[in-house]
Structure 1
Amino acid sequence: MVMRLTFNKKEKLKSQKAIEQLFAEGKSVSAYPLRMVYIKNNDTLKVGVSVSKRHFKKAVDRIRVKRLLREAYRLNKTMLIDNNIDHYTLMILYISKDMPDFQLVDAKMKTLLSKFKDQVVKP
């Protein structure tokens, strides 16, 4: 089966209740400037991205960073799927004040996802 690299509606984290529970009870893993908060769930893999309004005052800048985060996740999510890591709710946060380029975000996303994989996959 060929894995399509998509990030569709079913994968997006939209539930306010799930987001509140995630930040209340979730664990986190970091690969600066990215941080991921995660919690196990009974559903499929759900992912959200967030950029601080405090660091990026202009909406166009926040939206650009979010777009980069989503694209980097979309291209690298096979790391999770290949290891059967589903049933998680993830929130990927960008915690730096500097505007990133795609190479940085992509490299850090790979690091972040492998750290996450190492934490949740028991040897």
Structure 2
Amino acid sequence: MDFSFPKNERIKSKKLMEAIFTEGKNLNNFPLKLIYLPSDFDDDTQFKVAVVAPKRNFKKAVDRNRIKRLMREAYRLNKGVIFNNSERDFALVFLYLGKEMPDFQLMESKMTGLLEKFLKKIANEEAV
């Protein structure tokens, strides 16, 4: 399993982002929220990911960028969990809902819990 997070695994399309926020389904593991949407991508990527830190809660760009860096790193280290256990393609958006600056241990534990919830949810959807 490659632990990189290349550009082709990032969401860059405004249309896709709008579709995720309007039609996507939610999962929560406070302070993280996952919005996901089954999609078909032209390139060979299985998942496309975006991370969001709200300007409402963190006025300084430095703080928002740090939170996004922590989320990307936690995802990058744990993405093997979902890559090895899913056959479908998904677009994922991770939102940070907390009001305090997190540390990496909290972010990684919440990210692993959220990814496991996601796997259980899509396994139940595919079984039905």
TM-score interval, normalised by the smaller of the two chains = over 0.9
Please state whether the residue corresponding to 1:14 is helix, strand or coil.
Answer: coil
Residue 120 of structure 1 is aligned with which of 119, 122, 127? 122
Q: Which runs of 5+ in 2 are unaligned?
A: none
Listed one character per residue, the Cα deviations across residues 61-107 of structure 1 (whole Å, up to 9, x for unaligned) are 00000000000000000110110254100000000110000000000
Q: By how many angstroms is 1:112 displaced? A: 0.3
2:53 — aligned with what? 51
* Equivalent pairs, count: 121
Residue 71 of structure 2 is aligned with which of 69, 72, 83? 69
2:22 — aligned with what? 24
1:4 — aligned with what? 2
Over the residues paired in the alignment, what is the CA RMSD in angstroms?
Answer: 0.9
Evaluate the alpha carbon distance shift between residue 85 and residue 79 of structure 1 in structure 2; reply closer, same or farther with a 3 A threshold.
farther
- Return the alpha-carbon distance in structure 1 between the equivalents of residues 81 and 9 of structure 2: 15
State the identity as a percent: 46
Q: Which runs of 5+ in 1 are unaligned?
A: none
- Return the alpha-carbon distance in structure 2 between the equivalents of residues 64 and 6 of structure 1: 19
Q: By how many angstroms is 1:4 displaced? A: 1.3
- Return the alpha-carbon distance in structure 2 between the equivalents of residues 90 and 68 of structure 1: 16
Q: Report the more deviating stretch, 16-25 or 80-89.
A: 80-89
Which 4+ residue blocks in structure 1 deviate beyond 2 angstroms? none
Q: Is the 8 A contact 1:36 1:93 kept in 2?
A: yes
- Return the alpha-carbon distance in structure 2 between the equivalents of residues 85 and 78 of structure 1: 13
1:15 — aligned with what? 13
